[in-house]
Structure 1
Amino acid sequence: MPVLLHVLLAKQTTAVLEAFEELVTAMPQVQICSLVPGDRNIILHVSAPSSQHYHPFVMEKITVHVNITRVKSNFVMKECKNYGPFSL
């Protein structure tokens, strides 16, 4: 089950961002980690077998990071286009 996890950090210093990147890089559930502008700082593309597996992942692995202010999950209902990597 694909999920887009939006993360808001309390601080966005280089050290804080690098620590968070290191944390999620070690998680096999996280497929993509993107730093974005706007009302969220990071969007994670997460894979989980079910919502029952996703909830403990978020609560035990993500929200324990001391710099996280808020998370928001969007479950992908249908993937309309996915051609994988492309060259520019």
Structure 2
Amino acid sequence: MIVDIQRQGKNTLIVFKEKDFTNYNDILGIACGVAAGNYCFEAGSLLSPDFVQFIENIKPRIKYGILIGHDNHGKPLVRWGRLQGNVLTSSQM
């Protein structure tokens, strides 16, 4: 699986396209690996039915991302969705 891992301030954005996607376990492992190195987060969010549905519905020629980090109050956050530029435009938590 090919991903682009981008630091955005105190957060990390994992960017991928459908053509470079291999399977759910690969993206789950990458996201958890990134989070384990820098963040404390609720790993259950990546095991949720919402995340599985997100992965099942990725489409060709669209960039997707998973944002891992902390919100403005220092609480862990995980968001995912489509990207426009390097910004999540539609996201789930």
TM norm structure 2: 0.31
TM norm structure 1: 0.32
Higher relative contact order (CA 8 A, sep 6+): 1
Q: Which has the larger radius of gyration?
A: 1
Higher strand share: 2
